Amino acid sequence: MNMSRTRDTRERLVVIGGDAAGMSAASQARRMRGPDELEIVAFERGHFTSYSACGIPYWVGGDVAGPDELIARTPEEHRERGIDLRMRTEVTEIDVGGQRVRARELDSGAESWTSYDKLVIATGARPIRPDMPGADAPGVHGVQTLDDGRALIETLARTRGRKAVVVGAGYIGVEMAEALINRGYEVTVVNRGSEPMSTLDPDMGRLVHEAMEGLGITMVNDTEVAKVLTGEDGRVRAVVTQDAEYPADVVVLGIGVRPETTLAKAAGLPLGDHGGLLTDLAMRVRGHENIWAGGDCVEVLDLVSGQERHIALGTHANKHGQVIGTGVGGGYATFPGVVGTAVSKVCDLEIARTGLREKDARRVGLQFVSVTIESTSRAGYYPGASPMTVKMLAERRTGRLLGVQIVGREGAGKRVDIAVVALTAGMTVERMTALDLGYAPPFSPVWDPVLVAARKAVAKVRGS
């Protein structure tokens, strides 16, 4: 084993994980402190840095030409900015007491220790893989990394059959169903929940279900996948559930992720109920002055429920990185928490949510009223107006906004941002009804659908 290199007088920051959270942190720390003050060493076990996994469904579906378009910054670009980036090198141990990490170069197998003054853990999340026969068969793909995306595209190019099964109907499963439809596949989505998009209440998930079937996607809910069958060539040929068999030339898994905290756990760092690292508001690991963590490997504070949650989203990871880099660089920044916002689409159907679902509100003991309204994306008489459904939850008696879910076509998804601002500001639904939103017939009805929902919620709160 090599020994660590001789230390110079500069402080050394070590970053584990070279994607959104890790490289945002490293880049921001570099902006704050030059190479003569701060040495930055970053370890990434994969082939890519600063890439957008969020773009994989659109790359697979053909909307984005290639992986290069999904890479914000290459390893060379990071190195030009004074970051000593060690690719294909996996950190295998964190020695908290000794302030050092052990890393293995994956191609040569060489191992060495690197000491740190400051450490950033940005190891992301690992996809859940079903423990069942055939789960690793050729033709079964995850879509967590660019390497996964490339492998899937290669399989699609080789496959002569045209039947695809997507396991899981969260936003990744739904986006992958669209990608496969766009490539001319017959798509079946197999889902454990009662409706797709379990981040919505089931009544709103039902709308997604109906729209997916309208697109020619077969939705199978309330079922578990039992095994994957392979043909004589060893490749996938069918997916078997509790009660049926679905022929498949390719299978895509999208059944969620867990925080990748194996190293952190072994090092004795504090983990929450969801397995993510626990940090303070400055993203410092609790109880550790010189260790920060961010992105998919941490738990975040839900500002609406007041509870810690694990939410794996790139939008949070980038913000965490910015806060961490500022702190590492000697500045001051905090990440106050999230309100639980997400937006996605399947073909032209846009799906958005923020805040609490009914079951979230009940779980934390909040009493609420709930309303659902139908409206349109533009003035009803204006060409292109399309239907939109908005569901809104408000606290009983106080009328505080608790959550909004929107399903519709053009213009539905990003409307949720109105509710995000209202939630963050702690507005009541009554206060929301007076929001001075922009109006012209091509953009919305004179009462925006979100305001129509707020007005109906006000009436129900008064009745409650």
Residue 310's Cα: distance from chain center in Å?
Answer: 10
314 burial via Cβ count (<10 Å: 0-12, 13-18, 19+): middle
**Which residues, in sequence order, are bridge partners of residue 279?**
285
Using DSSP, state whether 197 is helix, strand or coil: coil
Residue 111 CB burial class (10 angstroms; 0-12, 13-18, ≥19)? middle
Nearest distance in Å: CB 321, ligand FAD: 7
Report how far residue 324's alpha carbon sits from residue 318's, in angstroms, rounded to the nearest whole number.
Answer: 10
Structure tokens at 433: 């009804």
- Gyration radius from the chain CA atoms: 24
Q: Should residue 339 be labelled a site residue for ligand FAD when binding is judged by CB under 6 A?
A: no
Q: Of 15, 17, 368, 408, which lies in the binding site for ligand FAD, with binding defined by CB under 6 A? A: 17
Rounded distance, CA 122 to CA 144, Å? 15
Q: Which stretch binds ligand FAD (CB under 6 A): 123-131, 269-277, 349-357, 361-369?
A: 123-131
- Report, in Å, the least distance between residue 44 CB and ligand FAD: 5
Smallest distance, Å, CB 414 to ligand FAD? 13
204, containing H or E segment: helix 202-214
- Residue (353 or 456) nearer to ligand FAD, CB: 353
Interacting residue with ligand FAD among 25, 39, 57, 403 (CB under 6 A) = 57
What is the spatial distance between Cα 387 and Cα 172, in angstroms, rounded to a whole number?
24
By rule CB under 6 A, what count of residues binds ligand FAD?
33
54 is catalytic: yes
91 binds ligand FAD, rule: CB under 6 A: yes
Contact call for residues 9 and 118 (beta carbons, < 8 A): no
* Interface with ligand FAD (CB under 6 A), residue from 87, 143, 187, 189: 143
Residues 406 and 416: beta-carbon distance below 8 Å: yes
Candidate list 31, 32, 54, 72, residue with the active-site label: 54
Among 114, 144, 198, 279, binds ligand FAD (CB under 6 A): 144
Out of 13, 43, 264, 375, the only residue in the binding site for ligand FAD (CB under 6 A) is 43
Give the one residue of 11, 77, 84, 90 binding ligand FAD; rule: CB under 6 A.
90
Which CB sits closer to ligand FAD, 54 or 135?
54
User: Which residue ranges make up the site for ligand FAD (CB under 6 A)?
Assistant: 16-22, 43-46, 53-54, 56-57, 90-91, 122-125, 143-144, 172, 260, 263, 295-296, 312-315, 317
